[in-house]
């Protein structure tokens, strides 16, 4: 490679390592202007696109690199990783095997093949792949981290924790490890240290969330302030969950402004009248909001939820709209049967498949129980509606925008006698208003840490029973428990 080309490539890599992808792309495109057949330039453009989750562009760049260098096991491994993200597992496996046929000792191909097996629920094979990668490169941190994560799924938490701790001790700035360890600790109900480690989420490449980036001092929970801004992170369900901690602030002398998803504002404004709520979009643009301290909403946990005893027994903290609820109840009261709201899948782009329950399996919850089902699934499709008809199962589908109009959705949930759901936004909404119900969750992969169960009851939502898989991907046990829950309470 000519000196100028090498310089441009090295500069682009420096920018990639500092997460300055735009500058890296400028240097790589400049490199291609003087060397149009530079496969490494195309490869790194593909890597950048993958970091941005633009997988189509990533494959376009990587295939150009492969055309120039068909024997590059680096490129083949990168393509396999992107195909894994797209859940094109057969094609991905073919790429990894081609890479390993060229270089059987390439640790990244072995480790990424492990990620593929993890996604396919071949957990023992994944563990073997990670061990093979570590054998080739003892200090390859991603393989160690992935090994710890698969050990959790394989019910070997003590070994997993030892790896997390070892990684952090050896590589204290490996923030992906610190973030994963925090999730492990929080899941294990080691809340005090878990919240501390969870602050590293913002430095982890795995945590995909906008950061406020304010130079205003972070609130530590001590002392009064003339203005506190609490800003949102993650999805609607998470904002509802962490919003439960606003009860600790409602009667304080602090002036509090909370930014949330716009569709949550009517609900929270009604439920916490002493707090000012604004659209989250306002805080990420120029704004005249005045505040002396700020904190992301999940970080309230390190202040207000440091032990199991710190969780209130109150079952309800959000309030439905009375008029809307009354109107919906009038629509539903044509039958005297028990009314159960149902939602069986998640649209989460990363773990939705792990959280979603096949409809035929989900409906077996209601075997032997006289009940009327109310649809709470916002993205129910025609095939699913036809499935209900073929099974001769009555499903009431009201004209409610279950995705955009969360205020009316909350009223529909309140109008039900109970709710049974996968671990999605509906479960959070039901718990927030104290609605009796159950949530069906995966064993580990796809299970968000906050679905703790203490005697089968949610720690965050005392009205919700939590039924968890015994083994990853096997819904039989929690489905049976949910059926028993119905029979015990409503037969």
Same domain, 62 and 139: yes
User: Using 50, 70 and 90 to split pLDDT, how confident is the model at 287?
Assistant: low
Report the alpha-carbon distance of residue 359 to residue 320 in Å, rounded. Answer: 29
pLDDT 10s digits, 364-390: 999 988 899 999 999 999 999 999 999
Distances (CA, A) of 17 to 65, 82, 156: 20, 19, 33
With respect to residue 160, please indicate whether it lies within any of the assigned structural domains. yes
Same domain, 348 and 304: no
In the predicted model, is pLDDT for residue 491 greater than 70? no
In the predicted model, is pLDDT for residue 251 greater than 90? no
Split into its structural domains, the chain has a count of 3
DSSP string, 396-463: E--S--TTT-HHHHHHHHHHSSEEEEESSHHHHHHHHTT--EEEEE-SSTT--TT--EETTEESS-TT
Same domain, 165 and 268: no
Same domain, 52 and 147: yes
In the predicted model, is pLDDT for residue 286 greater than 70? no
Selection from 155, 209, 164, 205 nearest residue 184 by Cα? 164
With respect to residue 262, please indicate whether it lies within any of the assigned structural domains. yes
- Domain ends where: 261, 288, 310? 310
Q: Which domain holds residue 48?
A: 3-203
Same domain, 65 and 165: yes
Which two tokens mark 5? 């080309």
With respect to residue 220, please indicate whether it lies within any of the assigned structural domains. no
Report the alpha-carbon distance of residue 340 to residue 16 in Å, rounded. Answer: 51
With respect to residue 216, please indicate whether it lies within any of the assigned structural domains. no
User: Using 50, 70 and 90 to split pLDDT, how confident is the model at 442?
Assistant: very high
Report the alpha-carbon distance of residue 80 to residue 51 in Å, rounded. Answer: 14
Same domain, 126 and 169: yes
CATH number for the domain including 456?
A: 3.40.50.2000
Same domain, 47 and 196: yes
pLDDT 10s digits, 188-229: 999 999 999 999 999 998 998 888 877 888 999 887 777 899
pLDDT 10s digits, 394-403: 999 999 999 9
With respect to residue 111, please indicate whether it lies within any of the assigned structural domains. yes
With respect to residue 424, please indicate whether it lies within any of the assigned structural domains. yes
Which two tokens mark 89? 């597992």
Residue 248's SS3 state is helix
Same domain, 88 and 234: no
Antiparallel, parallel or unpaired: β 453-454 and 457-458:
antiparallel
With respect to residue 327, please indicate whether it lies within any of the assigned structural domains. yes
Which two tokens mark 313? 């027994």
Same domain, 480 and 342: yes
Same domain, 138 and 86: yes
């Amino acid at each position: 490679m000519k000196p100028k080309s090498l310089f441009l490539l090295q500069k682009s890599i420096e920018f990639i390592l500092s997460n300055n992808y735009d500058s890296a792309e400028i240097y790589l495109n400049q490199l291609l202007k003087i060397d149009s057949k530079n496969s490494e330039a195309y490869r790194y453009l593909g890597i950048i696109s993958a970091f941005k989750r633009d997988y189509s562009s990533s494959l376009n760049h990587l295939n150009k690199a492969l055309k120039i260098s068909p024997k590059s096991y680096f490129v083949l491994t990168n393509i396999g990783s992107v195909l894994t993200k797209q859940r094109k597992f057969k094609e991905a496996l073919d790429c990894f095997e081609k890479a390993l046929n060229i270089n059987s000792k390439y640790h990244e191909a072995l480790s990424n093949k492990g990620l593929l097996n993890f996604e396919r629920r071949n957990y023992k094979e994944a563990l073997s792949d990670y061990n093979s990668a570590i054998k080739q490169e003892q200090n390859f941190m991603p393989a160690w981290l992935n090994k710890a994560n698969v050990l959790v799924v394989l019910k070997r938490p003590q070994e997993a924790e030892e790896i997390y701790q070892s990684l952090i001790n050896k590589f204290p700035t490996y923030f992906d490890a610190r973030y994963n360890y925090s999730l492990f600790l929080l899941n294990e109900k080691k809340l005090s240290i878990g919240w501390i480690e969870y602050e590293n989420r913002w430095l982890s490449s795995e945590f995909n969330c906008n950061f406020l980036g304010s130079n205003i001092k972070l609130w530590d929970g001590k002392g009064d302030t003339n203005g506190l801004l609490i800003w949102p992170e993650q999805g609607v369900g998470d904002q509802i969950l962490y919003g439960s901690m606003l009860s600790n602030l409602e009667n304080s002398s602090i002036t509090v402004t909370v930014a949330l998803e716009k569709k949550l504002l009517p609900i929270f404004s009604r439920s916490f009248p002493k707090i000012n709520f604004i659209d989250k979009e306002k805080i990420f643009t120029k704004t005249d909001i005045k505040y002396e301290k700020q904190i992301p909403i999940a970080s309230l946990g390190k202040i207000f939820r440091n032990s199991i005893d710190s969780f209130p027994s109150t079952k309800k903290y959000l309030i439905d709209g009375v008029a809307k609820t009354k109107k919906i109840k009038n629509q539903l009261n044509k039958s005297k049967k028990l009314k159960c709201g149902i939602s069986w899948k998640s649209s989460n782009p990363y773990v939705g498949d792990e959280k979603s329950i096949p409809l035929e399996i989900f409906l077996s919850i209601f075997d032997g129980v006289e009940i009327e089902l109310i649809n709470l699934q916002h993205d129910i499709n025609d095939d699913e509606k036809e499935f209900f008809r073929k099974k001769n199962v009555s499903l009431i589908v009201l004209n409610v925008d279950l995705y955009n109009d969360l205020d009316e959705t909350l009223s529909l949930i309140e109008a039900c006698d109970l709710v049974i759901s996968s671990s999605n936004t509906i479960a959070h909404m039901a718990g927030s208003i104290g609605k009796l119900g159950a949530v069906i969750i995966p064993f580990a992969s796809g299970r968000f840490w906050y679905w703790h169960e203490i005697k089968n009851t949610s720690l965050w939502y005392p009205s919700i029973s939590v039924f968890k898989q015994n083994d990853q991907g096997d819904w039989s046990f929690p489905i049976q428990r949910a059926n028993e829950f119905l029979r015990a309470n409503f037969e």
